[in-house]
């Protein structure tokens, strides 16, 4: 029995789920991760923002990423993993994705 694994699962923090409409207008958040999840309504895309909470993408973006352009979803995940993806709430459940260059990440890569 591996108690370290059991304890790491037991100590995970469940992130609060917020609605896009509850975000402040023109508030920006660092996208910590992009996850595909299975729900009772089918597959969905979740953004973890600022390592504090998560949101489900609006339906138009769900369809775009999961059905029309899965390659764009892969790119989004890559940018989130690098720490250079930011999302801004424009109001009326509209989001804008912004790529900012994470200087610390690229400096770390250049050391190799």
Number of structural domains, the chain? 1
pLDDT category at 6 given cuts 50, 70, 90 is confident
Predicted TM-score (pTM) of the model is 0.78
- pLDDT tens per residue across span 55-101: 999 999 999 999 999 999 999 999 999 889 999 999 998 999 999 87
Neighbours of 46 (CB within 10 A): 17
Judge whether 2 lies within some domain.
Answer: no
- pLDDT tens per residue across span 96-109: 999 987 555 555 55
Residue 62 structural domain:
13-110
Q: Note every long-range contact of 78-86, with CB atoms under 8 Å and residues 24 or more positions apart, other chains counting.
A: 79/31, 80/31, 80/32, 80/33, 80/34, 80/47, 81/33, 83/30, 85/30, 85/31, 85/34, 86/28, 86/29, 86/30, 86/31
Q: 84 is written with which tokens? A: 């250079």
- pLDDT tens per residue across span 37-48: 999 999 999 999
What is the per-residue pLDDT for 108? 57
Judge whether 4 lies within some domain.
Answer: no
Judge whether 104 lies within some domain.
Answer: yes
């Amino acid at each position: 029995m591996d108690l370290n694994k059991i304890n790491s699962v037991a100590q995970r923090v469940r992130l609060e789920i917020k609605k896009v409409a509850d975000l402040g207008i023109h508030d920006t958040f660092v996208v910590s991760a992009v996850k595909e999840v299975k729900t009772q309504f089918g597959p969905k895309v979740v953004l973890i923002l600022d390592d504090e909470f998560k949101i489900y993408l609006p339906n138009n973006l769900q369809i775009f990423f999961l059905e029309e352009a899965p390659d764009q979803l892969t790119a989004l995940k890559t940018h989130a993993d690098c720490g250079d993806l930011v999302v801004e709430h424009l109001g009326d459940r509209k989001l804008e994705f912004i790529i900012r260059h994470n200087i610390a990440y690229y400096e770390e890569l250049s050391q190799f």
